[in-house]
Copies of this chain bind each other. A is one copy, B any other.
């Protein structure tokens, strides 16, 4: 949790830096709200038991609830973040940070705006967060659903198979092309020729040069959707150049993303492994993903009014698992509390004095603890500080009480000074303020 708090802070700081407000939605949604939004993954949705009343399910992500919230409250314009848990009836894989209950950290921009400006900001955010967290080298892959659909069309995929073939392309980060091809042809019934044509496109990745080349591609350039997508991709890369982040962004035709609701640009950030030979390569895949979904809000509006949206979700559990492994490997000791001082006594029968002193410290805003024993040994009080990392001990004793002082001991150096009672708060603050 201590590591988690650090990561959350970095992410929230970034979201706030980009002017987002925070919202919250309930953990359950009407079952029908979630139905038909997640493609093949819908089977992973947790349902609540029918105990009377509406049929409910646990949220599967934060995007569909956000769209439902916008439609229900007739919001056409918002930039918000939401950090909360989502639920999937999946097979957990602890080391890869995959659980049935896990946090998502979402940032989304809803509203009718000029093309690709909010989209570019989402990629800037991914870049800022992954740089801040110092997770090692990373790459943000970018594609566009319209380019994919155009590509499927010119390769001869029937319209009705676009989404299912898209799901298969999405597996390219986990299986080699040969397996993906055989799923397309075998399970999905695509012609081998169409599959092979797809195979040529999906190996392409690059930057502005590739976009320019594809804009000249004799087949793709004839397809309206693909042309639109490529035009916007060009604009996106121009904005990313202004943000100075094209070095870590790759236009990648193999990126598909599984979810049904994307309509435009899509992206996914992956950590690059084994870059440094002296480090153990960490086996984690994508750590952030998102895209544009311009039709989702309209699905929840009674009049079908559309609110274009683009957003990004940070895959924080994978980030946690990497950082936790790193902390374990380093044997760095992480404090789980922030206590500044332990109020202790050297002799017996001083519980009342300890309680009086700690009460003064709490009221002055000092983070303080006391052992819950009437007559604890000084040694066990000092040991407690060693164990929990408390840096200071305020020791009350008969003589000190008479003199109106408290003995302040620095745990690390064993240095002891007598501090006048009225200066104690100031002294503790000074000695525990971070540089």
Contact = CB atoms under 8 A, between A and B. Distances in A.
B359 A244 contact: yes
Report the copy number of this chain in the oligomer. 2
Given A356-B242, A359-B243, A372 B16 contact: no
Contact of A336 (B21, B48, B339): B21
Contacts of A58: 27, 48
Interface stretch (A106-114, A193-201, A248-256, A286-294): A106-114
Interface centre among A16, A79, A114 (most CB of B within 10 A): A114
Interface string A10-25: 0000001111111110
Chain A contact patch, size range? 35 or more
Interface in A21-44: 21-24, 26-28
Given A47-B49, A48-B47, A372-B109, A367 B114 contact: no
A101 B244 CA distance: 44
A368 B48 contact: no
Contacts of A370: 117
Contacts of A261: none
A370 B121 CA distance: 10
A372 B243 contact: no
A374 interface: yes
A133 to B, nearest CB: 15
A423 interface: no
B51 A374 contact: no
Given A124-B359, A239-B355, A373 B114 contact: yes
Contacts of A369: 18-19, 79
Contacts of A50: 49
A89 interface: yes
A1 B19 contact: no
A311 to B, nearest CB: 14
Contacts of A362: 17-18, 124, 128
29 contacts: A1-B21, A1-B22, A1-B23, A1-B24, A2-B21, A4-B24, A16-B337, A17-B362, A17-B368, A18-B362, A18-B367, A20-B337, A21-B336, A46-B49, A46-B51, A47-B49, A47-B51, A48-B58, A117-B351, A117-B370, A117-B372, A117-B374, A118-B372, A128-B362, A128-B363, A239-B355, A242-B355, A242-B356, A243-B359
A-B pairs with lowest CB-CB distance, top 3: A113-B372, A19-B369, A21-B336
Interface of A: 1-2, 4-5, 16-24, 26-28, 46-51, 53, 58, 79, 85, 87, 89, 101, 109, 111, 113-114, 117-118, 120-121, 124, 128, 239, 242-244, 336-339, 351-352, 355-356, 359, 362-363, 365-370, 372-374
